[in-house]
Each structure stands twice: as C-alpha cells, then as structure tokens.
Amino acid sequence: MKKKWKCLVCTSVFKGEEPPIPCPVCSSSKFEEVPIE
C-alpha cells in the first residue's frame, strides 16, 4: 500500500513507500506521513 508524504517546507505531497528525499520541489529533507483519503 502506497503512502503519502508532505514536505514540511513547501507542502508538496508525494505518493510512495518512502518520502522522496530530497524534495524534488525545494530540496528539503523534512517530510511527514499524511493519511490517504
């Protein structure tokens, strides 16, 4: 089951088993898992 990750810096959301570090948008490494609706 895929997870959703939100970047804590630019708030972009990505789907995947692991967060896309660094963030493709802002290069941050800070993510939090968000619930899949």
Condensed to tens digits (0 to 9), the pLDDT of residues 8-17 reads 999 999 999 9
Count of domains forming the chain: 1
The pLDDT tens digits for 18-34 are 999 999 999 999 999 99
Which domain range does residue 19 map to? Answer: 3-34
- CA 3 to CA 23: how far, in whole Å? 15
Cα-Cα-Cα-Cα dihedral of 14, 17, 1, 11, to 10°?
Answer: -20
- CA 28 to CA 31: how far, in whole Å? 8
State pTM to two decimals. 0.87
CA atoms within 13 A on the CB side of 30: 4
As given in the structure block, the two tokens for residue 20 are 């896309």
